[in-house]
Chains A and B, each alone.
Chain A
Amino acid sequence: AQTVTQSQPEMSVQEAETVTLSCTYDTSENNYYLFWYKQPPSRQMILVIRQEAYKQQNATENRFSVNFQKAAKSFSLKISDSQLGDTAMYFCAFASPAIGAGNMLTFGGGTRLMVKP
């Protein structure tokens, strides 16, 4: 079974600074995808960034970037120039086309990020 672990239940960062959220996962699959989702206090889950395991280059989306270490099974999210609107729960998630019929997501337990003014 696949597992996703987020070891930081809560984090805080000052506005405009950089913060890194950690995620590790366990799988025997070689072909898989990793995601970071953001869930603001309104609770709608929003995709932040996505990484294909076969790509060596780390994904970036504006202020968000990942550090994907396949051998270490690590997938951290870096948020640069943190903004108050980044305050949310962040979930790391895993999916593999080889598991099940529909690429269901396996989520970590989440990290609550608070951006302070």
Chain B
Amino acid sequence: DTGVSQDPRHKITKRGQNVTFRCDPISEHNRLYWYRQTLGQGPEFLTYFQNEAQLEKSRLLSDRFSAERPKGSFSTLEIQRTEQGDSAMYLCASSLAGFASTDTQYFGPGTRLTVL
């Protein structure tokens, strides 16, 4: 088990450009989460997948953000027309959950986005 991986680890882009991040969860984990963390703050929930279905989205997730998890394996988070306020660390987490349980989430190393 290699843990949750994220790619790239760092991304610098110019305002207005589109960026895409990838997350590979722990094998067999059926839940996948995206969080955003700004400097000195705790992570904030963005969205959540159960297998390939996106079941929850935060109000923080504007129309410029889209996430997918095709085939219930890896996930991508795309930000269109980036703004300077999008600069943050984007964290991915995965968990294995049964029905009506609260699982433990395991985090990846994150992708640090800097929008110039």
Q: Which residues of A contact B (CB under 8 A)?
A: 4, 32-33, 35, 37, 42-47, 50, 52, 91, 93, 95-97, 100-110
Contact = CB atoms under 8 A, between A and B. Distances in A.
Given A35-B104, A105-B35, 11 more contacts: A43-B89, A44-B108, A47-B104, A52-B102, A100-B48, A101-B48, A101-B56, A103-B31, A105-B93, A110-B41, A110-B42
Interface string B72-116: 000000000000000001010101010011111111111000000
B21 interface: no
* Count class of interface residues, chain B: 20 to 34
B42 A109 contact: yes
A47 B106 contact: yes
Contacts of B110: 43-44
A103 B107 contact: no
Contacts of B105: 47, 105
Nearest to B45: A104
A107 B44 CA distance: 7
A33 B102 CA distance: 7
Contacts of A96: 102
A15 B42 CA distance: 26
Contacts of B107: 37, 44-46
A89 B45 CA distance: 18
Contact of B48 (A50, A104, A106, A107): A104
A109 B37 CA distance: 10
Nearest to B48: A102
A46 B101 CA distance: 20
A22 B43 CA distance: 18
23 contacts: A4-B42, A32-B102, A33-B102, A37-B107, A43-B109, A45-B91, A45-B107, A46-B107, A47-B106, A95-B102, A96-B102, A97-B100, A100-B48, A101-B48, A101-B50, A102-B55, A103-B102, A103-B103, A104-B33, A105-B33, A105-B105, A109-B41, A110-B42
